[in-house]
Amino acid sequence: MNSKVIIFDTTLRDGEQALQASLSVKEKLQIALSLEKSGIDIIEVGFPISSPGDFKSVETISKKIKNSRICSLARCVEKDIDAAGQAMSLSSAFRIHIFLATSTLHMESKLRKNFNEIIDMAVFSVKKALRYTDDIEFSCEDASRTTLDNLCRIIEKLINTGVKTINIPDTVGYSIPNELSYIIKNLFEKVPNIHKSVISVHCHDDLGMAVGNSISAIQAGARQIEGTINGIGERAGNTALEEVIMAIKVRKDILGVSTNIKHKEIYRTSQIVSQICNMPIPSNKAIVGSNAFSHSSGIHQDGILKNRKNYEIIEPSSIGLKEVKLNLTSRSGRAAVKYYMDKMGYKDSDYNINELYAAFLKLADKKGQVFDYDLEALAFINKQQENLEYYSLKFFSVQSISNGLSTASVKLLCGEKIYTESSTTSNGPVDAIYQALNRITNFPITLQKFQLVAKGKGKDALGQVDILVEYQQRKFHGIGLATDIIESSAQAMVNVLNNIWKIKQVNKKLNLLKNLKTH
């Protein structure tokens, strides 16, 4: 049996169905190009008959994609098949994916047809599609709830008609792994011409088993897996392709198969899909979640620093992720604190680890999460300065016109002096107030991330703004919380400015000590 598993991506078709707003042609093309770069074998780019916009998207993508095979969906309806064939006509090689329900439930309650009529419709549609391409895939919709005898009957007929790929969808996520593997094994045993086709599975995650079902299908002989990036899709979503792909790579000892995927493109592609589709990735999401390679427990952090294999089964770099994150929280141990101090270039003799760790725990209990610049402040700033907020926002005023200029004026307490500054920009009120603050402090900072989260409901809801800025090749976090979004944005930036000021005091103190030593 072939050891290569074909990866069939339906992010642009099944995945898009879960979005609140349809993607533009440009957005779909950007995702398709990213999928192609990742080494995806088959990209299902749309359902051309569904709308003129979808037809245009399929047509546009067909012109651009060269290294992956393009695929479009069609019902067992002549106009659907014609639309699919015409939309992909500019592609050098393409696939038409036809589907029809085969379960008794769907036949009786949805289609109002008997099984013989279903077989006739399927065969007729395949013959129609073969006029456009010899690469036909057929999906027996709701296959996991179709009787095994009926499934074998229709599959044998379809393969004889010319279908090269038979898809077994778990359409409503009803199966558990041993059930789906039982179906696949029986197809290989009972369908005499099964060796002439590739068996595929398309699993949904309604019971949280889409990836498990897909893996069990591979073990039973399936050689195509359908799914989406980040597992987006109808209801609870589809098989998360990045999880299946990495399971195949990490557990090759058990599965004995491989893919054509360029694994180092996984993280980048995941991020592109998340951003364009406006679907944030849960922090605990396997493979690509922000916590997938982060460690908070002191025991785990110590183990990771000694040998990453202790608590990581995947090298972050293998999916294109460069940085491993050790979260500094009250659960962290001395090893993590020392790791960050070493990373910043400090020697053991520069500070007292026991005193620093005790101060760190107090701050972690108060603040929640601590950052490397907090450690510097704890290690080298006296206790009076430690809690000092050098900058304090005393007043702000913003005027903004839609599609026009925004003007902001601020009064900022800097130590014991108040400074006033204003700024006008076409980038909105938040940018205007940030520019005004920057004119006072004159720190060369770059805003890298701005995130707004509502805390509560109604008119009294608080807006929490989290920002990440870069200053002199270091990253600084800031948080602001207020009922007014502009105020919370300003507070977040003032929070950052205070963190930067503390580090500048650390540098001054260290430079002074260095000068004293040299003299």
CATH code for position 410:
3.30.160.270
Is 62 a domain residue? yes
Count the helix, strand and coil residues of the chain and give each as a percent rounded to the nearest 5. 50, 20, 30
- What confidence category does residue 464 fall into, taking pLDDT thresholds of 50, 70 and 90? confident
Q: Report which of 59, 55, 15 is spatially closest to residue 35, judged by C-alpha positions.
A: 15
Annotated binding-site residue? 14: yes
Q: Report which of 228, 261, 222, 226 is spatially closest to residue 245, judged by C-alpha positions.
A: 261
**Sequence-ordered strand ranges (E) for 372-444:** 391-400, 406-414, 417-425
Domain final position from 217, 244, 277: 277
Say how many domains are in the chain: 3
Greater confidence (389 vs 493) lies with: 493
* Residue-number span of the structural domain to which 453 is assigned: 391-508
Give the separation between CA 284 and CA 373, rounded to whole angstroms.
Answer: 26
Is 382 a domain residue? no
Annotated binding-site residue? 82: no
Is 517 a domain residue? no
Is 284 a domain residue? no
Is 282 a domain residue? no
pLDDT at 210: 98
Residue-averaged pLDDT of the chain: 90
Residue with the two structure tokens 């002191």:
298
Q: Are residues 61 and 182 in the same domain?
A: yes
User: 370: which 2 tokens?
Assistant: 């601590």
% of the chain at pLDDT higher than 70: 96
Is 383 a domain residue? no
- What confidence category does residue 513 fall into, taking pLDDT thresholds of 50, 70 and 90? low
CA torsion through residues 382, 386, 387, 389, sign: positive
Question: Which of 7-11, 75-79, 366-370 is predicted least confidently?
Answer: 366-370
Is 175 a domain residue? yes
- What confidence category does residue 346 fall into, taking pLDDT thresholds of 50, 70 and 90? confident
Give the separation between CA 104 and CA 125, rounded to whole angstroms.
Answer: 20
Question: Which of 20-29, 84-93, 170-179 is predicted least confidently?
Answer: 20-29
Average pLDDT (44-62) is: 95
Is 198 a domain residue? yes
Give the separation between CA 128 and CA 460, rounded to whole angstroms.
Answer: 61
Annotated binding-site residue? 202: yes
Q: Strand pairing of 94-101 and 136-141?
A: parallel
Annotated binding-site residue? 238: yes
Give the separation between CA 127 and CA 121, rounded to whole angstroms.
Answer: 10
Question: Which of 56-65, 76-85, 146-155, 403-412 is predicted least confidently?
Answer: 403-412
Burial class (CB in 10 A: 0-12, 13-18, 19+), 33: middle
